Amino acid sequence: MNPWPLVLGGGAAFVVMTYFSLVRGYDRPLAFALSVAGLTAAVGASVIAVRAAPVRRLSRYIAGRTLPIYLVHPLLVNLLVLATLQLGVPLRPNESLATWLAPLITAACVVVSVVVYDRVSASWAAWVFAPPAALTRERRAR
């Protein structure tokens, strides 16, 4: 299947509907269609992206570190919230900043979690990220 029609069609529809939503004020009627168009373009783009070897390598690298990401990122998010409260930074920034803030915080948390895992797994504290023995025995038995 050629994913380019999905990317171009979904992307074009997304741009047109975003214009009507933001400039013309048709927010409510276009919300669902905007989501469908954006998802269509994103699915097509992801099909194209996974064909590239660097993307596959990065995906495998991150997939092998989902437990550390799952364990470390809540701590990072809570530390960030505490820091913003202590510094008096508003937790609800303006809408244009909020659009980019969530993905940036997510990416930063993933990077920090992976770095922490890579550092800790080579130290005496590697047990923190080790799965329970019962789970590893089940995998070996299969």
Q: What is the mean pLDDT of residues 10-27?
A: 74
29 compared with 138, residue with greater pLDDT: 29
53 compared with 88, residue with greater pLDDT: 53
Per-residue DSSP letters for 52-120? Answer: SHHHHHHHHHHHTTHHHHHHHHHHHHHHHHHHHHHHT--SS--HHHHHHHHHHHHHHHHHHHHHHHHHH
Mean pLDDT for all residues in the chain: 82
* pLDDT-based confidence at residue 72 (cuts at 50, 70, 90): very high
Residue 65 pLDDT exceeds 70: yes
